A and B are shown apart, each in its own frame.
Chain A
């Protein structure tokens, strides 16, 4: 299963790598927004609140990368776009449910951080540019840090109610 399209990592320069990292954060930011909207629509305020928080975190990551890119390459045009990446740090659509608990929402975010770590880890052997290698190594290690932060929150969380999502699902009714 491929996560990128039309990107040759062996030829990736620093500008494109920074742009790639920025759109990875952009994709994650938008997905958290979407998930928060979905949760709000289904009256799950707690999960919506957490996904909005994650959205805001991704906004900061995206901005920092963009600033770094602008400092180094100014207004040079972008040559990577969103059509080239697929679900790299964006939480999976299928990992959410209308009645999910905050703990499950945190696990969704944790899985997304793991995915992002695996992406950079898997790409590194193909990267030849030294600056890109350094950037990807830094980003990979950051993903590991983020995993730790999410894990900490999971540990700090009060146990879920004894009622599970399964208890809350309606049985299908003939129309």
Chain B
């Protein structure tokens, strides 16, 4: 019998699905995102107990609770520092971060450049719905100019943050984008981001159907998205990636904008080398503790 498919993976999507039932609004884009995450994790083939999923606060930050990985639904805007700490404490864990555009680029925005330049091997997935969902529809840093919300009654006067340019400009080694309108494509970008050895970023255009701009966002995504691969984009070309990323807000490009073909050493790897170098000179733990004890 001819074999028509690849060999079965060690883990199936259902192995990553927790017993908690999502309480998102029916129709929320995050339902599709979490499905794509299950599939990406199944494809990666690491056991749920080898994975730590960190988030801040927001509707999107509920994602870790819906997976069987170790989860930490932490503090608004502080998911990145916590995830970096986890990776440094236990470098063998696969560390993923789920965030919203408010959590990631507003209150947590100050952490982004440092996580990127430090290049710790974590994957940052931002559910970019261009609104604060959990707190009922306030303006977010990625809201389009002119958007009327409860905090911009007459329309926003500010240009939105461009998360793709932000990450590329700071030097992230992997930058991708997806939408739940193309779950297979999204699962693929998340899988590739997770496999990238270093800081990786996936911007997910995940519509908020309750407070978002209009009701048919996923349908619009289906009709208008353009895969970067179909445009012939070379994901090793950072300048070309920046050119395409400028279309954020008008074009919906999906796939990989940039993947560094020569990933530099990660912070966690360098730290292990440093620890190994210093180990012979290290004081025994008791001696270190002694230094803090008043005699």
Nearest CB of A to B192, in Å: 13
Q: Given A39-B26, A83-B43, decide whether A7 and B151 contact each other with a Cβ distance below 8 A.
A: no
Counted as pairs of residues, one from A and one from B, with CB atoms less than 8 Å apart, the total is: 115
Which of chain A's residues has its CB closest to B6's CB? A6
Nearest CB of B to A85, in Å: 9
Q: What are the residues of chain A within 8 A of B211 when measuring CB–CB? A: 172
In this complex, which of B183, B188, B211, B222 has the most chain A Cβ atoms within 10 angstroms of its Cβ? B183
Please measure, in the bound complex, the distance between the C-alpha atom of A21 and the C-alpha atom of B228, giving whole angstroms: 31
CB distance A97 to B1 under 8 Å? no
Interface residues on A, range: 35 or more
CB distance B180 to A94 under 8 Å? yes
Please measure, in the bound complex, the distance between the C-alpha atom of A7 and the C-alpha atom of B4, giving whole angstroms: 6
Q: Which of A11-19, A61-69, A139-147, A153-161 lies at the binding interface?
A: A11-19
In this complex, which of A13, A35, A80, A172 has the most chain B Cβ atoms within 10 angstroms of its Cβ? A172
Q: Given A7-B5, A82-B12, A83-B39, decide whether A35 and B26 contact each other with a Cβ distance below 8 A.
A: yes
The DSSP consensus for interface residues of chain B is loop
Q: Which of B85-93, B122-130, B134-142, B193-201 lies at the binding interface?
A: B134-142
Nearest CB of A to B120, in Å: 28
Which of chain B's residues has its CB closest to A95's CB? B27
Which of chain B's residues has its CB closest to A128's CB? B2
Please measure, in the bound complex, the distance between the C-alpha atom of A126 and the C-alpha atom of B180, giving whole angstroms: 27
Does A3 reach chain B (CB closer than 8 Å)? Answer: yes
Which of chain A's residues has its CB closest to B221's CB? A94
Please measure, in the bound complex, the distance between the C-alpha atom of A99 and the C-alpha atom of B182, giving whole angstroms: 25
Q: What are the residues of chain A within 8 A of B107 when measuring CB–CB? A: none
Which of chain A's residues has its CB closest to B30's CB? A93
CB distance B209 to A172 under 8 Å? no
In this complex, which of B5, B14, B32, B188 has the most chain A Cβ atoms within 10 angstroms of its Cβ? B5
Does B31 reach chain A (CB closer than 8 Å)? Answer: yes
Q: Given A39-B26, A174-B150, decide whether A86 and B184 contact each other with a Cβ distance below 8 A.
A: yes
Nearest 10 pairs of A and B residues by beta carbon: A172-B137, A94-B218, A11-B4, A93-B31, A12-B4, A96-B26, A6-B6, A86-B184, A174-B150, A38-B26
